[in-house]
A = this chain, B = another copy of it.
Amino acid sequence: MASDPSADATEPSSGDASDRVYAELLARISEGQFAAGERLYEQALAQDLGVSRTPVRDALKRLAAEGLVDTTPNKGAQVVSFTAEDTVALYDLRAQFEPVACRLAVPRLSEDDLAELEDLDARMQAIVAGGQDPAELTRLNNRFHAIFVERCGNRHLSIALQALFRPAVVTRTFRQYSPRSLERSMQAHQQLVEAARAGDGEWAESVMRSHILSTRHATGHQGDAEDVETLTE
């Protein structure tokens, strides 16, 4: 009788409210919709997302535990802000650790995982060719890298790496990459797919390391005047 599903058309399928809020905030932060250091008000977010403050609080706590927001006792949460040194250090660490996870993951990838990697690769290439929608590109790229981390075979390594990986994603949003770096990244992705398909963990590890190191270097070009309107790695 009173159940009117037309009003709440906000994807009721995917899990509980708390998880939805978390996923939404993670996406917004990753896509740079929040400025660095911007304060996140619980009630405002709650109204915006159509829930109460409780699930918002849960999501913010979770993000804080993962190092994506800073919280101070009675002041609330604000998006992390990085110094240039932080960013460099983060990429160094990621270059050290993520390839290890990649090597561990490749032999464990299922057919579905491989198919998803190929699909993501294809969609990213399509976006680059069209030169549009950098936010979607960021999202796809995050997912691409996340697959390796998630499948590394050890849940705690996965959690640990995500603590390094996600903040790096955030910093990356502020950087813009030259078309050449972009092209090189796309080739690295292709090679990663091939290595994964071949089940060659060492190959994939090597490619991933080169991939990350090359993107680190690419961050030095932010002052350049090239037509850098798309951003990803």
Query: A residues bordering B, Cβ < 8 Å?
Result: 15-16, 57-58, 61-62, 65-67, 73, 86, 89-90, 93, 96-97, 100, 153-157, 159-161, 163-164, 167
Contact = CB atoms under 8 A, between A and B. Distances in A.
B16 A73 contact: yes
A86 B154 contact: yes
A71 to B, nearest CB: 11
B90 A156 contact: yes
Copies in the assembly, this chain? 2
A65 B162 CA distance: 11
Contacts of A73: 15-16
B93 A157 contact: yes
B67 A65 contact: no
Nearest to A19: B73
A15 B154 CA distance: 33
30 contacts: A15-B73, A16-B73, A57-B58, A58-B61, A61-B61, A61-B65, A62-B62, A65-B65, A65-B159, A66-B159, A67-B155, A86-B154, A86-B155, A86-B156, A89-B153, A89-B154, A90-B156, A93-B154, A93-B156, A93-B160, A97-B97, A97-B160, A156-B164, A156-B167, A157-B164, A159-B163, A160-B161, A160-B163, A160-B164, A163-B163
Nearest to A154: B89
A67 B156 contact: yes
A119 to B, nearest CB: 28
A133 B64 CA distance: 34
The 7 closest A-B pairs by CB, nearest first: A65-B65, A160-B163, A160-B160, A159-B163, A67-B159, A160-B164, A89-B154
Contacts of A16: 73
Nearest to A157: B93
Contacts of A153: 89
A16, A58, A160, most chain B CB atoms within 10 A: A160
Contacts of A163: 156, 159-160, 163
